[in-house]
Structure 1
Amino acid sequence: MATNENLPPNVIKQLAKELKNLDETPPEGIKVGVNDDNFSVIFADIEGPAGTPYENGLFRMKLILSQDFPHTPPKGYFLTKIFHPNISSVGEICVNALKRDWNPTLGLRHVLIVIRCLLIEPFPESALNEQAGKMLLEDYDEYARHARLFTGIHAVKPKSKLKSGANSEPAALNVDHTNTSSKCADQKTAISGGAPPLPSPLAPKAENMQDQSAAMPLSTEVVGVSGSEAAAATLKEAALTKVPAAGKKKMEARKKSLRRL
């Protein structure tokens, strides 16, 4: 097992400073595990970026530093199985930052960020997983389906523990159904502005004017009727009440004429 003794003192000092910085202010979606006894193997947990087939996944990887680091790039491996064009079936990572684009001045933060960006934008032209690379170029939906399947099986995030005594039931689900009908009725009344309900079309109809007048009495206080119109309605009502008396007089006049004959 490699130890810090395999690395030059100046490299150990630089790595200790960088690892402390990564632990205190980790890059977005990346958490580095620090091992004070062995800086030559760096572990990191990478969250699957949103909007990718790796979303909601947590992927563990490691960087192995050689004895002549930083003159030679570290080797990167995914320990969590993943379906990706640039990551082989054994987890080896193919990215330019760890190969031809390597620069001794590049730090671990830069390397880790580049690897996470690889999950956002794969490079099928330099694929280590030929199946994933071909699928990405020819049928992205099928590629995404495979990647999501691997993520769901191998890279599920550990569920956070609930606090003791906490209610895991969402508050929105605690609905009171006992007064549902009364609440709906109140809502309808509020919408209509508190106006009385219209008469039901199934209600019995009045057979004559007298029944109608009994069911709907005339009133001068009806909204929308002027004073003159109300007076005319009152006179009309009075005329209707005098009709039976006029008819009675005609009957008495006819009886008198019959007596004379």
Structure 2
Amino acid sequence: MAANENLPPNIIKQLSKELKNLNDSPPEGINVVVNDDDFSAIFADIEGPVGTPYENGIFRMKLILSPDFPQSPPRGYFMTRIFHPNIATNGEICVNTLKKDWNPSLGLRHVLIVVRCLLIEPFPESALNEQAGKMLLEDYDEYARHARLYTGIHAIKPKYKQKTGAISESTSALNVDPTSTVNGDKAPFLSPPPSTAPLTPKVLGSVAQDQNVIAAPAAKSLGPPAAQKKGRAAMGAAKAQADKKKIDARKRSLKRL
């Protein structure tokens, strides 16, 4: 039985429409990987935001939808290893949007944006990874070093240049559950998989723009003979101008006499 058959037809229709919208107009730094035969697990590649220890890395995550979705929130996991206070060692994501603050009217776009915002603004006070939370509070430089190390080793390397702008949507929607704990469910990390998601029109446009830029020819540097010739010409012009000023001054003096 196909996984989609576990979801009501109206929910499948809603998800299909939302996933198409995410593919046509993806949020900043997020690329959804769509499997039309299985909407029970939604995969997304999230670019590490610029200016954070996760920059220059792509992190794959998944949202697991229950049969009674959207009445129950999806469960979120990072499949790529990441050093972050609010992401457990088994990849579970601690954020209120996926827990007590869930609302059936919230869409997948909102959830994905909140998860990426979590990479910008961690909440160490409600850490699932206690080591990362303590380190962030006591020694940010050491925390950032660890996070960058994980990013360099485990994150997927981007195939195109990241945009330098921060995520455009407000981070005010970010909210972490201070009482959340890791449950017994396991979501083992996977080795960084090659990104199989098709490039969206937005990405294709960016790549095409980069490829169409033709570098302006560099100015030809002057060799020693040319530079010397140019210098002598400049000195000659300056001397001629000074001589002319002297002659003019003498003429004015003769007129006074």
Give the CA RMSD over aligned residues. 3.6
Q: Against the structure 1 CA distance between its residues 18 and 175, is the aligned structure 2 distance closer, same or farther, given a 3 Å change threshold?
A: same
Q: Deviations over 1:163-197 (max 9, x none)?
A: 9xx8xx9767x66456255247636855x693139
| Larger Cα-atom Rg | 1
Map of 1:23 onto structure 2: 23
**Partner residue, 2:223:** 179
Q: Is the 8 A contact 1:2 1:40 kept in 2?
A: no
- Corresponding position: 1:47 with 2:90: no
Residue 99 of structure 1 corresponds to 99
Q: Which of the pair has the greater relative contact order for Cα pairs under 8 Å at 6+ separation?
A: 2
Q: Give the count of matched residue pairs.
A: 208
The yes-or-no answer on 1:125 pairing with 2:125 is yes
2:250 maps to a residue whose letter is V
Alpha-carbon separation, structure 1, partners of 2:26 and 2:43? 13
Match of 2:237 in 1: 194
Which consecutive aligned stretches of 4+ in structure 1 deviate over 6 angstroms post-superposition? Answer: 169-172
CA deviation vs aligned residue, 1:12-46 (integer Å, no higher than 9, x gap): 11111111111111111111111110001101111
Matches of 1:109 and 1:188, distance apart in 2 = 68
Partner of 2:90: 90
8 A contact 1:84–1:122 mirrored in 2: yes
CA separation in 2, counterparts of 1:223 and 1:104? 90
> What is the CA-CA distance between 1:158 and the residue it aligns to?
3.6
**TM superposition score normalised by structure 2:** 0.69
CA distance in 1, matches of 2:118, 2:43: 17
Cα distance in 2 for residues equivalent to 1:56 and 1:25? 22
Residue identity opposite 2:34 in structure 1: V
* 2:224 matches 1:224: no
How high is the sequence identity, in percent, across the aligned residues?
68
**Gaps (5+ residues) in structure 2?**
162-206, 241-245
How far apart, in 2, do the equivalents of 1:61 and 1:87 lie? 11
Structure 2 CA distance for aligned equivalents of residues 18 and 96 of structure 1: 22
Partner of 1:11: 11
Give the match for residue 155 of structure 1: 155
3-state SS of paired residue (2:144): helix
Structure 2 residue identity aligned to 1:195: A
Q: TM-score, normalised by structure 1?
A: 0.68
